[in-house]
Amino acid sequence: MHRRNLKLYILILLISISTFAGGWYLGGQGYEVEVESSPPKIQIINKQAELAPQNLDFSTFWKVWEVLNTRYVDQPLDTQKLFYGALKGLAEAVGDPYTAFLPPPENKEVKDNLSGRFEGIGAELGMRDGQLTIISPLDGSPAEAAGVQPGDIILKVGDENTTDLSLSEAVSKIRGPAGTMVRLTLKRNEDEPFPVEITRQQITIKGISWDDKGDGVIYIRVARFGEQTNKDWDAAVGEIIKLQITNPKIVLDVRSNPGGYLQASIHIASEFTNTGVVVYEEFGDGRRQAFKSDHRGRLISVPTVVLINGGSASASEILAAALRDLKGSTLVGKQSFGKGTVQDAVDFADGSAIHVSIARWLTPEGVNVDGVGLEPDMVVERTQEDANAGKDPQLEKALEIAREL
C-alpha cells in the first residue's frame, strides 16, 4: 500500500474509534480538533490557552504508528490494542497511580468490584512510595485466608516483577476466574520476600453487618463503600433503632476497608452529625468544595468509637476523620493507609473509561492525610498470631472504651 494511502487509512481508523470518546471529551474541555487530509495530520488546539500554552506536534506519533504497522516483524498488528495502549501510556505519564485509562475488560472489573461481586483473590491494591502494596485483604477472602496483610508489598505476580506494572495492569493480572491459582511474592516489613499461592474465588462482599455486643454496645462493621452501601446502612440502622436500647453506644469498624464511593462515606458520617463540614475537596487551583451532612442523622446522640488499621483507606479515612473531628469519637487501632485523593471516572461508549484524580480530600479541620494517614487515639496491635487464634485485641479495647462512655 502506498505510504500516503496507508497514513490516510490509519487516520480514518483512529478517528472512527475515538470520535465519540475523544471528541466529546475534548470539546467539553475547550479543545478543537482539526484534520488535514493532505498530508494526513491531526492538530489539537486548546481554545483555553492558559490550560496548555505549548503547541503540540503530533507528527512523531503518526511516524511511530506508521513504523510499527509497516516494519514490525509480525503483521498485521492489532490496531485496537495499539490505540488503547497509547491512551494507557498517556494516563500513566501523569505520574499518579490512581489516574489510569481502563480498556473495557479492566473497567468492567472495577465496576464489578464496587458492586460487591467479582472473581479474584479479594484484596485491594494501591501504590505506596512507588511500590505495589496491599491496602487490605477483604473480609473472608482467599487473600485473607492465605495470610496476606495490609501493607504487604507485592514484588512479583507469577514470575513478573511489579516494578514495570501500573496499578491497573497489576489488578488485571492478579484477577482471574474462580478456581485458578496466582502466585505472589510478598515482602513484609524488613523480612525476607516470601511466596504465597492463592486460589481465586467468587468474591461477594457484604458491605454492612452488625451485632449486639451487650451492655448497650452495638458493633457495626462497614467493609466497603459500594453501590448498595447507603441502602444497606439505612436498613441496618433501622433494625438497631427498633431494639430501643437505653443509653446505646456504637463501635464502628472500618478496618481493612479500602474505600469506594465518596458519597457513601458522607452518608454514613451524616448519621452521626449534622453540624459542620464532613469533608473538603481541594482542587489543583486551590479552590475548595465543602460537603456537609446529606440527611438528618438518627445516631447523633450516640457515643461512638471507631476502629481503624493500615487497611483503612480513602472513604474509610474520610468517615473516621469526620467522626473524630465533628463528634469527638475515639479512634482505636493502627495508623490508616493515607490515601488522600479523589477520583472521577468518565465512561466511553466502547466500555472503556478514564479514571482521573480530580482533587485531594481534607478532613473537617482542613488536614491532608495523603501518604500520612490518621493516627489512632489509642494504639492497639493485632498480630497475625492474634488473628490465627481468633483474638482481636483492637475490638476488645474499643468495646471496653465504649462501655465506659
Cite the active site residues.
Answer: 314, 325, 339
Rg from Cα positions in the chain: 24
Contacts of 219 (CB under 8 A, 6+ apart): 210, 211, 212, 213, 250, 251, 253, 395, 399
- For the record, the C-alpha cell of 149 comes out as 496483610
- For the record, the C-alpha cell of 27 comes out as 470539546
Angle, vertex CA 282, rays to CA 276 and CA 284, nearest 5: 165
3-class DSSP assignment, residue 145: helix
Count of other CB atoms within 10 angstroms of residue 160: 13
Angle, vertex CA 349, rays to CA 345 and CA 350, nearest 5: 100
Q: Are the C-beta atoms of 258 and 293 separated by less than 8 Å?
A: no
- List the one residue out of 142, 136, 149, 124 whose CA is nearest residue 386: 149
Q: Are the C-beta atoms of 326 and 364 separated by less than 8 Å?
A: yes
The DSSP output letter for 178 is: T
Q: Are the C-beta atoms of 252 and 306 separated by less than 8 Å?
A: yes
User: Which amino acid appears at position 229 of this protein?
Assistant: T
User: What is the C-alpha to C-alpha distance for residues 277 and 299, in angstroms, rounded to an integer?
Assistant: 17
- For the record, the C-alpha cell of 251 comes out as 463501635
Strand 353-362 and strand 341-347: pairing?
antiparallel
User: What is the C-alpha to C-alpha distance for residues 319 and 255, in angstroms, rounded to an integer?
Assistant: 12
